[in-house]
Structure 1
Amino acid sequence: MSELPPLIAARGLVKRYGATLAVNALDLNVARGELFGLIGPDGAGKSSVMKAIAGVLTFDGGELAVFGQSLVSDAACEAAKARLGLMPQGLGQNLYADLSVEENLDFFARLRLVPPDVAAARKDKLLEMTRLARFRQRPMKNLSGGMKQKLGLVCTLIHAPELVILDEPTTGVDPVSRRDFWAILAELLAEEQMTALVSTAYMDEASRFHRVALMHAGQALAVGRPSELLAHAPGCMVTVHTEAQWPALAALRPQFAQLGALGNALQVYADGGDEAQALAAVDACLRPVLAADSYQLEAGEPELEDVFIAMLRQRGERLPDSQALTAAAPARASGGEPVIEARALTRDFAEFRAVDAVSFQVQPGEIFGLLGANGAGKTTVIKMLTGILPPSSGVGRVAGVDMRGAGRAIKERIGYMSQAFSLYLDLTVSENIRLYAGIYGLNRARTQARLDWIVDMAGLHGFEDALAASLPMGLRQRLALGCALVHQPQVLFLDEPTSGVDPLGRRQFWDILFTLARRDGVALLVTTHAMSEAEHCDHLALMFAGRLVADASPAAMKRELTAQRGPLWDIRCADPTAALARLRAAGVAASAYGNRLHLFAREDELNARVRPLLGADARCQLRPVSMEDVFVERVTALEAEKPV
């Protein structure tokens, strides 16, 4: 791969939008046959780089060559476009809503001048590979988010491009569809010897790529294999297991700049790579305030997102600081009656049952996660529990009151941050806050006090007179959270609150939620597609096709999966594509992760069935089970029992 000239070569690439420097002297090489990732938050410059490479956006400085040709003229850009495929950001943005799956594919084949016989054969192959063949006649607008993205991919690939450019293809897609998308892409790249340039804001997707560039403020902070990037900010992640989270957090904050809550544990990033020193430093902070038998410490390797944040911190970037929020003593309620309760909650829409006899409870001060693929029924459950939709049967109780007959008084104790709408974008920050305060009947003095609190909580100082539409996504979401909290509710419902938010903003958001739960005793019900965020929850409920199919803590769900399937193995070998084909032919369920393989197996099965198919050079290492693994395995098994 490295002996050939790069397929993409950028030197000192610059792109400006007025006074904004979107791409800042970027150097980048992408080799032929690579799956290369641009990873970074919104505004990092990823889309601008990709559009320039695709020949659809001019650049203001530096050099850019694709397929060995400099993109200095319209003719050169047009020549490059014929040999590549571009899939823009957004679910189905390159598709036509009223056309069927097959009609969309036929349209793109004609647009790309693919001969009819070639187009027909390629269409059949791509539809079969993506399992869209039986949905040929379904209109695009009636597809799920994951199916839209798979259709967008095959339309991008219909003319067999040498280079495919995919701009955040998995944003807003549920974990099963996301993993399915990556598996299909890896298989296509291996079969057709294509090169792929893919952007993502999900740091946990880095392991899918051969190489990645960590993007921030238009620059590449680091470029290399995912495993190599950990060395750019050497450190150790120490997990603190303790019931006394609050005093532990207060004791650790003065010493460690990078830490946060993760469910019933705390995670502390200690600079430097020595595990023994990291454990000793954390223990020295905790020993004066906690009994020796009240906490346990565990050291491990940090995730790429932790390293990314450490790199920003070492460059002098200001990290989110919620120390003021956590300064007061905790007043978390404990015991007593649940504040959210669903009893056989059911909702029908004509002949379609969206929610089927769902039951669960949420205690005061608990962070409760409601998980499920697109269309599982999560949002419908929230709408019934907030009184927006009446249930067809069953009971939804909040703060001890049946929501079917709840009056204004009970609704004033509930905060709701919806997936689709929470802010008036043509109003300023202050105007949005004052509007919500007026809706909830706050007087002038209390409105001003809550406005000041929200501005502090959300880090909005200096933005009070800015339109909500002009705010970065992370600030906008924190403003929406503030508006949902303006009347100090006892219960808060959040429907995918961090979708599209960058890693720094997402961490600050969860720090705020942790404070609300642990200090103020607010009960939180959260839906999310980001499985790394599910780790923040005290308790989880997994929905599938309107039913509740699992209800336990994250740790319990992981233990159950390991007991059923065996541990998770990370496998490195010389030819992972060929090894994957041999494993699948032998009936072993495995998946591609960049240049590695993942599979569940007990050690005796690994030695007897798997190792002989891998080759003598293969290395198998145990890998911790994640909530994404749990989600995908459970939902995939359920889909096999009840196909879509």
Structure 2
Amino acid sequence: GKNLYPTLSVEENLQFFARLFGHDAAERRRRIDDLTQSTGLHPFLSRPAGKLSGGMKQKLGLCCALIHDPDLLILDEPTTGVDPLARAQFWDLIDRIRAQRGAMSVIVATAYMDEAQRFDWLVAMDDGKVLDTGTPQQLLERTGSASLEEAFIHLLPEEKKRGYEPVRIPSLEAADDDIAIEAKDLTMRFGDFVAVDHVTFRIRRGEIFGFLGSNGCGKSTTMKMLTGLLPASDGKAWLFGNEVDPHDIDTRRRVGYMSQAFSLYSELSVRQNLVLHAQLFHVPEPEIPARVEEMVERFGLGQILDSLPDSIPLGMRQRLSLAVAMVHKPELLILDEPTSGVDPIARDNFWRLLIELSRRDKVTIFISTHFMNEAERCDRMSMMHAGKVLDSDVPARLVEKRGAKNLEEAFIGYLVEASGGTADNDGAPDTPARAPADATQPHA
């Protein structure tokens, strides 16, 4: 969504891009209606782009790129942070357009191996170098792998995968009555819009609890209410038995929060970010050097201590974000889609850190994700849509309840059922938007 104008509505963004390519009013209307109906954006034509969820912004960005029937479509990680149902709809739209326009070529960069599986030809890259090329089947056969994720890891240089092992999760040993987080009828309203609708759950101390939901369904809002960043409209939440209070600094210090957006200070070095956050959470001054050194060693940041965050790879930035969230040694860690856009090895390394925190240090981890293999690693998880929790259980049990082949199929089934056969993926009421036949031309 980086190519969008946030203050312009969905309709105005599309009108603007369509005008740039010389379409008349009737053709603009036809193309805008076709693209927005295909992507589920049509009910939100009047919504400002800046107020769309991340997944909906990605869809709008695609519509703007497709508005002039290009011969070459370049998609740079177009579905990062997009929920599985929206991803499936996204690629169905691309397939439909390709069927209509057989000469159009599409180049895609992606970190999702299930997406790569459906492409005609793959180029596996690392550090600017091509590791191998071929069809998905050819790469699987050459590497003797059962999945593209395995194949990619197999193709990496030896130094990159030295010591790599698949993620293994020891069983959780926690008492059912040892509760770290509890929410009861937690509700958040923005005017007439209900973003979170009477959400109830309990999370045990040391548990890894997953939050899986459609884009804009209220996951991030729920997390912000639990940290005290947003006061709830109704309902209550408790952290370690204390009711969440934005002014209760002592309880908030027991929480580490890693937001969906990269939120470190880009003008400060890695070391300076760690020191600053230790000071902000009132780590005693004499203890700060040792605490920073502990985080550096634990999260493997030694070689980048004097670098600026923007200059280091995404996987390292994610580790740094986690180190900053942990520098004051919280008992609860809230992670909002922490591994979006991260390669498979970096993602697995990140999860090994989470498992160590959970099982060794008894840190409770509340994580939202759109990666199904991550959701399957959680001790329990909730599925959420349109502000409501649809079900909570062990991942395998959720699959069993739906009679599905896998968690992704189960999740899509829950979403489709909850939205009456179709999902709008934005968690908002499916009310038609009034769009003029020829919107006023916006200014860039």
Q: Name the residue aligned to 1:187.
A: 96
Q: Name the residue aligned to 1:506.
A: 347
The 8 Å contact of residues 172 and 207 in structure 2, kept in 1 or not, is answered as: no
Q: Name the residue aligned to 2:299.
A: 458
1:571-614 Cα deviation digits (max 9, x unpaired):
xxxxxxxxxxxxxxxxxxxxxxxxxxxxxxxxxxxxxxxxxxxx
Q: Name the residue aligned to 1:319.
A: 161
The 8 Å contact of residues 330 and 519 in structure 1, kept in 2 or not, is answered as: no
Q: Which has the higher strand share?
A: 1
CA distance in 2, matches of 1:145, 1:480: 20
Q: Name the residue aligned to 1:305.
A: 149
The 8 Å contact of residues 56 and 215 in structure 2, kept in 1 or not, is answered as: no
Compute the displacement of 1:208 (Å). 2.0
CA distance in 2, matches of 1:405, 1:112: 50
The 8 Å contact of residues 369 and 540 in structure 1, kept in 2 or not, is answered as: yes
1:396-427 Cα deviation digits (max 9, x unpaired):
11111111387333222222222235422211
In the alignment, does 2:32 pair up with 1:113? no
Q: Between 504-513 and 94-103, report the one with greater CA deviation.
A: 94-103
In the alignment, does 2:253 pair up with 1:409? no
Structure 1 residues 206 and 435: CA distance shift in structure 2, 3 A: same
In the alignment, does 2:408 pair up with 1:628? yes
Q: Name the residue aligned to 2:238.
A: 397
Compute the displacement of 1:444 (Å). 4.3
Where in structure 2 are the equivalents of 1:172-251 lying within 5 Å?
172-193=81-102, 194-235=104-145
Q: Between 420-429 and 99-108, report the one with greater CA deviation.
A: 99-108
Q: How many residues align?
A: 420
Matched residue of 1:318: which SS? helix
Q: Name the residue aligned to 2:56.
A: 147
Q: Between 370-379 and 129-138, report the one with greater CA deviation.
A: 129-138
Structure 2 residue identity aligned to 1:629:
E
Q: Which has the higher contact order (CA 8 A, sep 6+)?
A: 2
Compute the displacement of 1:388 (Å). 2.1
Compute the displacement of 1:363 (Å). 1.0
CA distance in 1, matches of 2:350, 2:233: 34
CA distance in 1, matches of 2:317, 2:362: 25
Compute the displacement of 1:138 (Å). 4.1
Q: Between 359-368 and 411-420, report the one with greater CA deviation.
A: 411-420
Selected match of 1:560 from 401, 407, 411: 401
Structure 2 residue identity aligned to 1:491:
L
Compute the displacement of 1:211 (Å). 1.8
Compute the displacement of 1:179 (Å). 1.3
CA distance in 1, matches of 2:56, 2:63: 11
Task: Please report the TM-score for the alignment, with normalisation by the length of structure 1.
Answer: 0.61
The 8 Å contact of residues 229 and 246 in structure 2, kept in 1 or not, is answered as: no
Matched residue of 1:416: which SS? strand
In the alignment, does 2:349 pair up with 1:496? no
1:604-629 Cα deviation digits (max 9, x unpaired):
xxxxxxxxxxxxxxxxxxxxx33222
Compute the displacement of 1:349 (Å). 2.5
**What's the % identity of the aligned pairs?**
44
The unaligned stretches of length 5 or more in structure 2 are: 425-429, 431-444
CA distance in 2, matches of 1:197, 1:148: 20
Selected match of 1:637 from 414, 417, 420: 417
Structure 1 residues 330 and 320: CA distance shift in structure 2, 3 A: farther
The 8 Å contact of residues 206 and 226 in structure 1, kept in 2 or not, is answered as: yes
Larger Rg: 1 or 2? 1
The 8 Å contact of residues 338 and 399 in structure 1, kept in 2 or not, is answered as: yes
The 8 Å contact of residues 332 and 521 in structure 1, kept in 2 or not, is answered as: no
CA distance in 2, matches of 1:335, 1:115: 64
Structure 1 residues 104 and 440: CA distance shift in structure 2, 3 A: closer
CA RMSD, aligned part only?
A: 2.7
Q: Name the residue aligned to 1:578.
A: none
Compute the displacement of 1:505 (Å). 1.5
Structure 1 residues 442 and 110: CA distance shift in structure 2, 3 A: closer
Structure 1 residue identity aligned to 2:69:
A
CA distance in 2, matches of 1:117, 1:359: 48
Structure 2 residue identity aligned to 1:413:
R
Compute the displacement of 1:352 (Å). 2.3
Where in structure 2 are the equivalents of 1:373-522 lying within 5 Å?
373-404=214-245, 407-420=248-261, 422-522=263-363
Q: Name the residue aligned to 2:433.
A: none
Structure 1 residues 551 and 331: CA distance shift in structure 2, 3 A: closer
Where in structure 2 are the equivalents of 1:534-549 lying within 5 Å?
534-549=375-390
1:623-643 Cα deviation digits (max 9, x unpaired):
xx3322222221122223686
CA distance in 1, matches of 2:53, 2:420: 17
Structure 1 residues 448 and 204: CA distance shift in structure 2, 3 A: same
CA distance in 2, matches of 1:502, 1:133: 33
Structure 1 residue identity aligned to 2:76:
D
